[in-house]
Structures are given as C-alpha cells and as structure tokens.
Chains A and B, each alone.
Chain A
Amino acid sequence: MRERHATWSALFAEKRATLSSYFLRRVAHRWDAQDLVQEVYLRLLRIEPADAANIRSPEAYLFTVAANLVKEHALLRQQQPLGSDELEQVVEQLVSPTNLEADMDSQSRQQRLGALIDRLSPKCKAVLIMHYRDELSYREIAERMSISTNMVKKYIVKGLAACRQRMAEYE
C-alpha cells in the first residue's frame, strides 16, 4: 500500500492539474460533488495518527481517496467502470476528454476567469499571466518585475484567492 502511494505521488506530481480536473469533471457530471467532499472528509478523519505521519504527500492522498471514491461510486451505480486499478489507464483517459458538456463548462469558466484576471491590480495581473501563460518561474518574474521572489509568490496567492472568491460568486 505504501509503495503504491509512492508511485501515485510521483504520478500526481507530474499530472497534477490534468488529473484533478479529470476527476472534478467526473464528479461534476456523474455524482454530487458535495457527497464526494463529505465522503472524502470522513475518510480523512478516519486516518489513524500513526498512518497520518506516514503520508508522504497529503495532497496526493487526498486525490487518491477522491479518485477511489469516484470509482467505487461508478461500480455501485453499475455504470461503466473507470477501468482497472491501474492509475495509468485513468491518466490515459484524461488525454481524450469525451464529455462535451463538461468542455463547454470549462470554456465558459475560463472566459470568466480571464475577465477576472483583468480586474486584478496591474502587478498581480502581470505576475499571474507571466506565470500561467508564459510559464516563467518565480525567479524569472521577479527579475522582470524588479521585485523579490517572495513578493511574486505573494502576488500569485493574492491573485488566485481573489479570482477564486469572485468565481465562487458565480456558483
């Protein structure tokens, strides 16, 4: 079990964004997201203290629990199972999204998000766009903006939090 966690951790580190958007898409359209959150939460609570100390990446653990729940749920509902236990297969499916509805949603989400980015303060906006669009590192952004890398990080946190708050108003 521990070993598998390690592998999954590595995979998550690599495929973090796509994987999470994958299961969130599943959740949004096949299951009630709130039920999932509740169930994930309950499972987190059930972790024994000794085991908790051994969790190498709590984030990967979180996604693992969620992914497993989605899978169990699919089995319970006799829907097409999501494949075997192999995470690789799951990851493969990510590359070819088939749910048109979900894609439409994500497109409108991205447009809303784009509008929100324009409303940030100019420094915050510059840092976010350079980081996410141009894929510049904190250090590179810091140099271009003549600010510390610590400030770059602060702007990213501020910008994401502001965007998330505004997105929540749409929900």
Chain B
Amino acid sequence: MNDLDQQTRGAIDAVIAGLARAGYICSRQIATAVFLAQHLQKPILVEGPAGVGKTELAKATAAFLDLPLIRMQCYEGLDEAKALYEWKYAKQLLYTQILKDKLGEELNGVKSLSGALKRLHGAGDIFFSEQFLEPRPLLRALQQPAGAVLLVDEVDKSDQEFEAFLLEILSDYQVTVPEIGTIRAPVPPFVVLTSNNARDLGDALKRRCLHLHIGFPEPALEERIIEVKVPGVSASLRRQIVALIQQLRAQDLRKLPSVSETIDWARVLLLLHADHLESETVRETLNVLLKFEADVKAVENKIPALTYQARHAAGDAA
C-alpha cells in the first residue's frame, strides 16, 4: 500500500515535470487528471473559462508523451463525413471504369453465366475497402500505430447528434463503418475534449470522461507560468502583474482576464521596458487585458488604486 502511494506521488510529480518541460506549468490536480487518464484509459473532458490553457494542455501532453497530436475543431453542422471518414469517390468511380474495361479479359473463356458469376465473386470486392477510405481526424487517431493525442476542441459547439456519435469512439476506441465493419485502435489514443460550456453536454458523454475543471490559477502558479512563457520579466514585476490581475478578477466584469491575457500583457510590458507598474502604463495597456469597452470604462478610474495595491501586495514599498 505504502509502496503504491510512493509510486503514485512520484508518477504525478513526473507528469508535472514532463508537462513543465513541454512549457506547460500546471497544478497538481491537472497532473493527476493526466496521470489517471493514462492509467484508466479514459478521455479527459476539460471545462473552464476561455484562455486558461485547455487546448494547450492537449498540446503539452502530446509533447510530453511524445505522440502525434491530432486535432479536431468542432463546429455546428460537423458530421461524420468530416470527422470520421469519407470514401474516395473519384477513385471508386475510376475503379468501376477499369473494372468494366477489364471485365472482358477476366471473363475470357467462360461459357456459362453461372461460371462468369463465380469468376466475378472470386475476383474480390474491393469497392468498399480500406483502400478507398479517406480517414478523417477521428479515424486517423485510431489508426496511429503508436497511439496519439486526440484533441476534440470545443465539443460544445457541435450538435447533439455528433456527441452521440462520439460515444462509441470514447468508450471502446473503435468505430464502425457499415460497409467494412469495426475498426479498432491498436493503441487507444489519449483523448482530450474541451468545452466552453456554450451548452450543457449530455450525461452519457460526461459519464465516460474524467471531468477536469481548470479555473484561474493560484498567484504562485501564475507567476511561474509568466516566468516560463515570458522569461525576460523581472521577479518583482511578475509579482506586481499577478497581483493586479488577481484584483481585476475580483471585479465585476463581463469578461475576466485569463491566463492568455496575462501572458500577452507581460509581453507588452516587456516590450515597453517597464520594470514596475505605473498607473499610466496600466491605463494605456488596459485593452490587452479587457476585451469589452464597458469593462475598460468600469475599471479605468480605479487604476491608480489598483496599481498601488498591486505594488503594495508585491512587496514594493515605493
């Protein structure tokens, strides 16, 4: 028992380190999710506000596990012809043409009709076969010999019917093509689904997944994210940036600044050669953080106070 616990802890730490090498700083919970998904062979459904790194998690996992990333962007009206497979129609038509031309040679010397039929059956039916199958992302992910990371992005944008159709793939890692039969994955792919909660996903889908909610990160974690993503920013500025962002998230805004905005802002500040926050700089760059005019207006006259507090919180007694 104790041994197992040691192993588990070590394994989760290894996941954290591995993802960090891929440039993704994550909390222990996220690492646990990746670890469990690997061991239970279950897909992860990631929800959370925009810009907290849901898609990025899949990319980092692919780099960490050294597997190809296959991405499928969902949208309204997505159907199986675009997600799963399609027939190569042109080639199929060509094949029938060739078959017609060759038929004479094939049937050469056969006298009776039944004999001709027998010969025809013997020739093999490849019209519907894997040779004429054009794999789309889902099928391609199942066919990878060494496995893959399959990212089903923004699954909430797709239709309910499509969701139902994902179920077979997610629970059994296989697809059924009516004309051929069932295609099973030699190595189950590591599946990540992301959702922005545009609509409620079905229970059946949720039941099959590990459900990971990524919220806004803790201050310490966010500082490390900036440290990795924007290396040039000094430690004190990093603390101030994070302190200000955390305060902004406590405000009543339409769209709260996310991690991606934090990173963008840190880059901007780096370009402006800022070494600490000034209310003037913050005012001028506020549009990087806030994406709605109303939000900018709501915050604008609080900037001096916010900046002061941020610097104070970051231990800058200036």
A complexed with B: no
Binding site for B on A (CB under 8 A): none
Binding site for A on B (CB under 8 A): none
